[in-house]
Structure 1
Amino acid sequence: MKEGMRERTVLKIGEFARVNQVSIATLRHYEKSGLLKPLELDPATGYRYYSLDQLPRLNRILALKELGFSLEQIAQLLEGELSFERLRGMFQLKQAQTQQMIDAEQARLTRIAARLSQIEQEGKMPAYEVLLKGVDALLVASIRGIVPLPLADGLEQSYAKIAAYLDEQRVQPGSPALYLLYSRSEQHDDGLYIDAEAAIPLSIALEGNEQITIQTLPGALMACTIHTGADLFLGQAYAALYRWLKDSGYQVIGPPRQLRLRYGAHIDPTQYVTEVQFPVKKMSEGDR
């Protein structure tokens, strides 16, 4: 071992590998690619020695590998003296992207489980009682837009914006919150988007803003049913309403409404309670 090496804390390749929890093969690969060469190679024994001073460089190499860079790209980045601040920013971005992927996959697993449950329940459709009732006109603050499925995720942002605005105006929001579904939909690369409007009832009129509309939803005769369970199964309630319409001679004359009677982050989704309302009128002979 050379004299200069005695002034540093040096480790054999196996020791250096254990300290950094990497394999000896990985260190040899980095040596061959020129990314991280041993501090010294003993010609007599063939032992490779590394210095603890090389730890920061190895940590950066491993970090950049985690970020998905190739060894060639890593070499170029390290030549540019990659600062800790820049590396931290890259890691934070990757962390956020990875979390989004995890959340998306978790949501997909939830939907798959729900679809499997639907298949298992085929032929065992829960009984939905459909009632006709008159609904009065309703003053609301609302946000309408094209939102992705599942609707709850996209609409939560709208509800939060409305709630924040009402808080600024010192207006107490009414209940239950509701949303309206329109017929327009768009297929995007990341899934289906639906034209939907989130609304919160108001007890007094006030001015809206660029995003929030203050409006009065018209009163109407409604065909209504109650759905208990997760939003993913709301289609069962819709199917029951459409069957009732066909059998009873009524037709839909406006966007369906969904009233969130029991809903929230602290509530088990299987215990959600939603009232689905269809504005309807009796079909005439000419409509049949």
Structure 2
Amino acid sequence: MHTGLTVGEFSRVTHLSIKTLRHYHEVGLLAPAAVDPGTGYRHYSLDQVPTAQVIVRLRNLDMPVADVKAVLAAEDVGTRNELIAAHLARLEDRLAQAQSAVESLRDLLARPAHAAAVEYRTVREQAAIGIRAVVDRQDVVSWWQGALGELHGFTRARGLRTTGPLGGLFASGLVQDERGDALVFVPVEGEVRPVGRIDAVVVPGAELAVAVHRGPLQTIDLTYGDLGTYAARHEIGVDGPLREFYLRGPLDGVDDDDWVTEVGWPIFRADG
């Protein structure tokens, strides 16, 4: 009667090194079928070969050990498949992020040496409706999207007349401290009663150096870099929130490659 495979034999059958098999035993992924109490020698059964093969494939997909354990312990096929599908979805998200990062790097390397065109602009104080919050940097994009949609829906539902494009004000702390004040607004005509997160606001005036960013927000740092470099070289930058105007964006039903955003950097102007 066959008593099982030694660790060396099981290693050859599964193409897993003895070191790896020892590790899988220690972390509770694949325990030997039997361990000799006298010698400590480990023996595996032939029935464990398919389990080892499943573990190899799941680990090759970077599935965490805890998740692999959950898959192996699943009592039914449906539960097992749900766990695997969830991990595959996470991998696809990571792949999409990696592809986006690769494309962004290629765009940067192919970018013309000249910076974005910069113009000076005096922005007057404006009455508006807005949503204001203190936001963590990692949450600012999702917060921004939600605020834009809420303001757009409110403006349409109330039949308000807008007097300018949707815009945003972002404190320097969002970048420097990874948390700071943010305001998304839309200039409107007339008085508006506050509802929920939406409040009447006054957007302060400012002197700005402005450049146009075309494309998704993932690459807007390049335009900010152009403006910041320009302001530093000309020694005209001042403290104050960074400003954006969304001339074409997610509410217009276009691809993010077709978005158009004006970026404003606060400056001191001595030309009157």
Q: TM-score, normalising length from structure 2?
A: 0.59
What are the equivalent positions in structure 2 for 1:1-288 lying under 5 Å apart?
33-34=44-45, 36=47, 68=63, 78=72, 80=73, 82-117=75-110, 121-122=112-113, 124-128=114-118, 130-148=119-137, 155-163=144-152, 170=158, 174=162, 175-185=164-174, 195-204=181-190, 205-209=192-196, 211-218=197-204, 220-230=205-215, 231-235=220-224, 236-243=226-233, 246=235, 252=238, 254-264=240-250, 266-267=254-255, 269=257, 272-278=259-265
Shift of 1:94: 1.2
Deviating 4+ runs (over 6 angstroms): 27-32, 57-63
Shift of 1:87: 1.7
Deviations 1:20-79 (A, max 9, x none): xxxx955999998547369xxxxxxxxxxxxxxx9xx99987886657366xx65x865x
Q: Distance in 1 between matches of 2:173 and 2:241?
A: 11
- Contact 1:254–1:279 (8 Å) recurs in 2: yes
**Structure 1 unpaired stretches of 5+:** 1-23, 39-53, 284-288
Q: Distance in 1 between matches of 2:200 and 2:45?
A: 65
How many pairs were matched up?
Answer: 225
Deviations 1:194-226 (A, max 9, x none): 6533323344513232x44432213x2433434
Q: Distance in 2 between matches of 1:133 and 1:69?
A: 54
Shift of 1:259: 0.6
Greater Rg over alpha carbons, structure? 1
Shift of 1:154: 5.8
- Contact 1:149–1:194 (8 Å) recurs in 2: no
- Contact 2:165–2:246 (8 Å) recurs in 1: yes
Q: Distance in 2 between matches of 1:87 and 1:112?
A: 38
Q: Distance in 2 between matches of 1:182 and 1:114?
A: 28
Q: Distance in 1 between matches of 2:129 and 2:221?
A: 26
Give 3-state SS (helix, strand or coil) of 2:241's partner: coil
Give 3-state SS (helix, strand or coil) of 2:172's partner: strand
- Contact 1:208–1:214 (8 Å) recurs in 2: no
RMSD of aligned alpha carbons: 4.5
- Contact 1:221–1:281 (8 Å) recurs in 2: no
Deviations 1:202-255 (A, max 9, x none): 44513232x44432213x2433434143424212134334545x3xxx663632
Q: Distance in 2 between matches of 1:183 and 1:102?
A: 31
- Contact 1:223–1:241 (8 Å) recurs in 2: no
Shift of 1:171: 5.1
Distance 1:126-1:224 versus aligned 2 partners, 3 A rule: closer
Distance 1:202-1:151 versus aligned 2 partners, 3 A rule: same
Q: Distance in 1 between matches of 2:243 and 2:64?
A: 49
Shift of 1:135: 1.8
